[in-house]
């Protein structure tokens, strides 16, 4: 009786797993880019977003080309900027809370096609406290890193969707 129950659960588990694999399900952040064996990436020399994208390409076994090839896809990181907007003030007039706006503009050109321009904005609220300047500076760096990670993931998802 118990062995029969165990076998039935095992069969159901295997069936569920095969359905997930069959429908193309992948864990978030691990999108396959097998349709892009190589890609050309153009960006600013020390772009942190470009470095994150390079990591994602390496994880997906995508070779980064040193020069543009019309038969290969190309990703052009046009700009990524950070803006701050004041949300609230302390009673003494100092800024208490900011909204961070991370803007990314990029272009994707697939082989034999016109380049397509994409842009998006990511938002985060950031509470400032002048009495804890060092801790708040570290928190800001952490938020920026998180925004860049999210932006890199979004660009990879866009590439996977186009292929």
Tens digits of per-residue pLDDT, 11-41?
777 777 777 666 655 555 455 677 888 999 9
Query: For tokens 């040193």, what's the residue?
Result: 66
Please say whether the beta carbons of 102 and 81 come within 8 A: yes
Secondary structure (DSSP) of 31-80:
---TT-SEEEEE--TT-HHHHHHHHHHHHTTPEEESS--TTS-EEEEEEE
- The predicted pLDDT at position 142 comes to 92
Question: pLDDT by residue (tens digit) across 86-110?
Answer: 888 888 888 889 899 999 999 999 9
The domain ranges of the chain are: 31-162
Please say whether the beta carbons of 129 and 75 come within 8 A: no
Q: Which of 78-92, 113-127, 128-142 has the lowest mean pLDDT?
A: 128-142
* Domain 31-162 in this protein, CATH class: alpha beta
What is the Cα 4 distance to its own chain's centre? Answer: 46
The span from the CA of 18 to the CA of 21, in Å, is: 5
Other CB atoms within a 10 A radius of the CB of residue 150 amount to 16
Mean pLDDT computed over every residue of the chain: 85
Short-list 41, 59, 58, 39, CA closest to 50: 41
Question: Max alpha carbon distance in the chain (Å)?
Answer: 74
């Amino acid at each position: 009786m118990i062995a029969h129950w165990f076998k039935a659960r095992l069969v159901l588990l295997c069936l569920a797993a095969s359905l997930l694999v069959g429908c193309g399900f992948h864990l978030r952040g691990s999108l396959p880019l097998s349709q892009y064996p190589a890609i050309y990436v153009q960006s600013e020399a020390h772009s942190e977003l470009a470095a994150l994208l390079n990591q994602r390409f390496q994880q997906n076994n995508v070779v980064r080309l040193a020069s543009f090839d019309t038969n290969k896809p190309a990703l052009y990181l046009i700009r990524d900027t950070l803006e701050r907007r004041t949300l609230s003030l302390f009673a003494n007039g100092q800024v208490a809370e900011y909204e961070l706006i991370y803007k990314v503009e990029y272009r994707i050109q697939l082989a034999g096609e016109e380049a397509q321009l994409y842009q998006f904005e990511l938002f985060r609220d950031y509470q400032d406290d002048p009495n804890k300047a060092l801790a708040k500076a570290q928190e800001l760096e952490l938020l920026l890193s998180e925004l860049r990670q999210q932006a890199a993931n979004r660009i990879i998802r866009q590439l996977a969707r186009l292929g």
